[in-house]
């Protein structure tokens, strides 16, 4: 009976050796690599809104801690942590932000404010922002700059 099966189904008697298909595995590895690269690029923390910062040779890298970022665009618009704020409402917005911080209003003396000022912004906008910050007791300012690029 076994010989009769072999005659009817010749493929049953032959054993195939298992093969590992490498191409789908390589495809999966490339997909994982692309996912890793894109997700690591997304980890960059954007502080404030994008402005054209002035260059400075003595700039120091800012610490990666949670702080207030006050951005001033070239046209004089103010942004508190990426939220647009009118100049007249700046003090109120700062006061509300301070109330949400650990230590409340008492923490104002030790809180650092990062000023992200566009290189083309007028000086009067920076002075007005600093004046509003001082009214709330915020006197520690850090002005963001970008490093000087060497000329090629």
CATH classification of the domain holding 86:
3.30.420.270
Give the structural domain span for 37: 2-41
**Residue 33 sits in the same domain as residue 66:** no
Is 48 within 8 Å of 79 (Cβ atoms)? yes
- pLDDT of amino acid 65: 44
Average pLDDT of the segment spanning 83-92? 83
Residue 49 lies in a domain: no
Mark whether 13 and 62 lie in a shared domain. no
> What 3-state DSSP class applies to 71?
strand
- Region 54-77: mean pLDDT is 68
Q: Are residues 88 and 132 in the same domain?
A: yes
Indicate whether 66 and 98 sit together in one domain: yes
Place of tokens 């700039």: 59
Flag whether pLDDT at 145 surpasses 90: no
DSSP code, position 83: E
Judge whether 117 lies within some domain.
yes
Lowest mean pLDDT segment, chosen from 17-26, 45-54, 115-124, 125-134:
45-54
Whether the pLDDT of residue 150 is over 80: the answer is no
63 & 29 share domain? no
Looking at the domain assignment, is residue 11 inside a domain?
Answer: yes
Task: Give the C-alpha separation, 152 to 149, whole Å.
Answer: 9
């Amino acid at each position: 009976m076994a010989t009769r099966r072999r005659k009817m189904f010749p493929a049953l008697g032959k054993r195939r050796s298992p093969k590992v298909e490498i191409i789908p595995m390589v495809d999966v590895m490339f997909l994982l690599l692309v996912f890793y690269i894109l997700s690591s690029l997304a980890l960059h923390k954007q502080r404030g809104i994008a402005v054209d910062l002035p260059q400075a040779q003595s700039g120091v890298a800012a610490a990666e801690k949670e702080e207030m970022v006050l951005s001033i665009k070239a046209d004089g618009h103010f942004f508190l942590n990426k939220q647009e704020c009118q100049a007249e409402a700046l003090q109120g917005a700062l006061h509300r932000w301070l109330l949400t911080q650990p230590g409340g209003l008492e923490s104002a003396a030790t809180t650092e404010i990062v000023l992200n000022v566009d290189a083309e912004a007028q000086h009067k906008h920076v002075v007005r922002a600093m004046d509003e910050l001082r009214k709330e007791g915020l006197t520690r300012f850090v002005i963001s700059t970008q490093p000087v690029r060497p000329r090629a």
